[in-house]
């Protein structure tokens, strides 16, 4: 593994996106355990994109405008659903003002996986990113790409976990202030709408 790959991976993972936003929201909403579960779910959400890139499915997405647009707009719709749920204070990102039943780990993981899996840009990203760090003509190219993918997943989990734990650390200062909770819902909801809009207008 080269230092260039590691640095690039860390920069990419640390750049705020839907996964990081989801993990932050989970930490603020339900604490450290929920944030770690969310980070794990977001990491799992990268697996289909890695598999697609390694097996060449990304080339199909890249070549087929219909396939790409279909998956893209499914992602847009899911992000809008996340925004709607956040505004209504429902679902995995509900921010409780009083102690209530927490969403199950399965529900949080499912939501986290869907956040990342419905983003065709990740497949295209891995298709363009991983081959740059695999020597041309290498007899062990597949094993090398899987190794780099595993490192990327580990970095994703660690970075998101740090985000989530930091959010959980200030949770008590947030949920004891109803006005802050209300504005936090609005900010997260608006952020999901903004991310949906950005995904919708991006070209292949």
The set of residues, in sequence order, having a beta carbon less than 8 Å from that of 116 and lying 6+ positions away, is 18, 19, 42, 45, 46, 49, 122
- The domain limits of the chain are 17-201
d(CA 151, CA 27): 24
pLDDT in tens, the chain (204 residues): 678 788 878 877 877 677 888 888 888 888 899 899 999 999 998 888 888 877 775 565 566 667 667 767 776 786 687 677 767 765 444 555 444 556 678 888 888 888 887 766 677 677 767 767 776 566 777 788 888 889 989 999 999 999 899 888 887 776 656 676 677 677 777 877 887 787 677 665
Distances (CA, A) of 161 to 20, 33, 45, 141: 9, 10, 15, 30
- By CB atoms closer than 10 A (0-12, 13-18, 19+), residue 172 is exposed
């Amino acid at each position: 593994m080269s230092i260039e790959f590691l640095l690039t991976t860390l920069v990419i993972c640390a750049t705020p996106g839907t996964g990081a936003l989801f993990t932050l929201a989970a930490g603020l909403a339900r604490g450290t355990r929920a944030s770690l579960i969310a980070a794990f779910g977001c990491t799992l959400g990268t697996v289909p994109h890695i598999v697609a890139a390694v097996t060449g499915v990304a080339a199909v997405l890249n070549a087929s405008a219909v396939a790409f647009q279909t998956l893209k707009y499914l992602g847009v719709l899911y992000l809008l659903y996340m925004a709607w749920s956040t505004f209504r204070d429902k679902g995995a990102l509900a921010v409780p003002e009083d102690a209530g039943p927490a969403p199950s780990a399965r529900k949080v993981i499912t939501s986290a996986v869907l956040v990342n899996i419905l983003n065709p840009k990740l497949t295209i990203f891995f298709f363009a990113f991983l081959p740059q760090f695999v020597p041309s003509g290498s007899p062990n190219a597949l094993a090398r790409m899987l190794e780099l993918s595993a490192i990327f997943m580990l970095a994703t989990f660690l970075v998101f976990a740090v985000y989530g734990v930091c959010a959980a650390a200030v949770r008590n200062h947030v949920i004891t202030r109803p006005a802050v909770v209300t504005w936090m819902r609005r900010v997260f909801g608006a952020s999901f709408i903004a991310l949906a809009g950005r995904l919708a207008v991006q070209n292949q």
